[in-house]
Structure 1
Amino acid sequence: MVNTTSSMMYSLSESIEDSPAPIYARVKQAICEKIESGEWKTNQRVPSESEMVKALGVSRMTVNRALRELTGEGILARQQGVGTFVAKPVAKKKAHSGLFEVHNIAEEIATRGHQHKAKLLEITKSKANMDEAMNLGVRTNHPIFRARILHLEDELPIQIEERVVNASLAPDYDKQDFQHNATYDYLMKVAPMTEGEHLVEAVIATVEECELLQIEIGEPCLQIKRRTWSNDQLVTTARLLSPGSRFQLFGHFGQ
């Protein structure tokens, strides 16, 4: 068993790519590749957290997050007091996003081993109307950016993002690289998020939105309305629209 675990860990360490993605995401991707290739088989026990920490030279928090998310996604299965195993294959899972966290969608797609692409549909600098001013907690005519972006996963549209940004807190928002979603990094740099809220609803997209998402008219969609704060200031409001057949939310909580 020791030799089997050692060989699994050596193979895993060799598969971890050197990329800008977070370490936990690269560990997740490497584990997924082992399972998808058949090298790690259904019901096979995977190395423990402590074994991975020692062999990979990463923190326990990194390994714990990778294994926890893979378990939540149904790729691994944990048995209390026994260990973690490769789960039985099920129908292809939808792309999902954390319910209690705000992530970079490009990073989420990368963790699934897929390619993210963004198309900037529109961006303007304007003055807030009454509704936008109320949502951002500013005065009417306050300077804002309005942006509309289409996100794709392996060339398949997965989300329409409509965002309003407080221009006084993020003055160079319109100069960012929307293609590679550098807007997330920019906003986290100039106005680090300290608080956020979600409102999740099932909706029917408009005809134009169905065309952008390449779905049939009337297909149910998942809509997330999100606001984020930096300290006591509202930075952005966003409406995120995804086909219900391609997207889901996942949350984990406990004491």
Structure 2
Amino acid sequence: MNSSPRYIQIQDFILEKINTHVWLPGNKIPTELELTKQFNVSRMTVNKAIRDLVNQGLLERTPRLGTFVCQKKVESSLSDIRNIADEIRQRGKTYSNKILRQVTIPADDEIAIRLGVRIDTPIFFSEIIHYEDDTALQLEVRWVNPLFAPEYITQDFSLATPNEYLTKNCPLSSIEHTVEAVMPTTSIQQNLNLTALQPCLLLNRRTWSKQDLISVALLYHPADKYKLSLKAEI
């Protein structure tokens, strides 16, 4: 006979359904009233069980709709730059990528300002989809100043990511990050396997090595699979 408190038994029941994939991310779980009847306990007991799991990030409550299994999100730090391939492998997943474009182009007005070069200056441009297992996790769109990374355009990024190459050859001295939520264009929908109604988390990044502005990157992530965090000492 299970001697655990009743709210723990309810939590164990819910967790067993999640861990065995009976209830998948996004699935609605039984109502508090249904669980009250199933376990023959008070509404308060069921509420505590669910509230604890919500606080742990395993469930989420949506007003007037019910309680749902949370979508598991990958987390990355804003305070530094980590190689996405390393992050994925450290989670025990398989990393791969698809190189969409890797070319030399003239800098347009916007990129010339952001990269600190004259308009029409030849710059390097790459566009790559990064995968965790078979799921598209990030679309990386990057512009690089050839003056500081002259061999960037000839690299095989299926072997080492742009981040890995630039970190090795242009040691990072400072970064600039801005984050915003955006709705995906048709192209981004196709590359990240999204619908028109699924938002993206866009990380705008600029990187310097010593005093030199090396790279500008736009990093698009499916908002339901990715989150960014920042830890600061005060």
- Please tell me the root mean square deviation across aligned C-alpha atoms, in Å: 1.9
The secondary structure found in structure 2 opposite 1:157 is strand
Indicate whether 1:235 and 2:214 are aligned: yes
Query: Which residue of structure 1 lines up, in the alignment, with residue 120 of structure 2?
Result: 141
Aligned partners of 2:111, 2:95: CA distance in 1, in Å? 29
Structure 2 residue matching 1:135: 3-state secondary structure: helix
In structure 2, give the amino acid aligned to 1:175.
Answer: T
1:118 touches 1:181 (CA, 8 Å); kept in 2? no
1:249 and 2:228 equivalent? yes
In the alignment, which residue of structure 2 is the partner of 1:39? Answer: none
* Counterpart code for 1:123: Q
- Summarize deviations over 1:174-230 as a string: whole Å, max 9, x none: 222211334222212221110001110000001221121112211111001110011
Matched, 1:120 2:92: no
Higher helix share: 1
The 3-state SS of whatever aligns with 1:167 is coil
Deviations 1:116-153 (A, max 9, x none): 11100011112222221111111223221011101110
Which secondary structure state, in structure 1, belongs to the residue aligned with residue 117 of structure 2?
coil
Match for 1:131 among 64, 89, 110?
Answer: 110
Change in 2 beyond 3 A, CA 1:221/1:182: closer
Q: CA separation of 1:181/1:95 partners in 2, compared to 1, >3 Å: closer, same or farther?
A: farther
Partner of 1:187: 166
- The higher radius of gyration belongs to 2
Q: 1:174 aligns with which of 132, 153, 177?
A: 153
Cα distance in 1 between the residues matched to 2:120 and 2:144: 13
State the TM-score, normalizing by the size of structure 2: 0.68
Gaps of 5+ in 1: 1-35, 37-87
- After superposition, the Cα gap between the structure-2 partners of 1:165 and 1:89, relative to the gap in structure 1 and judged at 3 Å, is closer
- The Cα offsets for residues 95-115 of structure 1, whole Å up to 9 and x where unpaired, read as 111111111110111111111
In the alignment, structure 1 residue 213 sits paired with structure 2 residue 184: no
1:119/1:150 contact within 8 Å kept: yes
Native 8 Å contact 1:176 1:182 kept in 2: no
Q: Does the CA-based 8 Å contact 2:204-2:219 persist in structure 1?
A: yes
- The gaps in structure 2 that reach 5 residues or longer are 1-18, 20-55, 59-69
Using the aligned pairs only, state the percent identity. 37
Counterpart Cα distance in 2 of 1:249 and 1:204: 18
Q: Which has the higher contact order (CA 8 A, sep 6+)?
A: 2
Counterpart Cα distance in 1 of 2:226 and 2:161: 22
Select 1:222's aligned residue among 191, 201, 216. Answer: 201
Summarize deviations over 1:3-42 as a string: whole Å, max 9, x none: xxxxxxxxxxxxxxxxxxxxxxxxxxxxxxxxx9xxxxxx
- Whole-angstrom CA distance in 2 between matches of 1:136 and 1:125: 15
**Equivalent pairs, count:** 170
Moved more, 102-111 or 139-148: 139-148
Deviation at 1:89, TM superposition (A): 8.8
Give the 3-state SS of the residue equivalent to 1:180 in structure 2: coil
> How is 1:62-211 mapped onto 2 (pairs within 5 angstroms)?
90=58, 91=70, 93-211=72-190
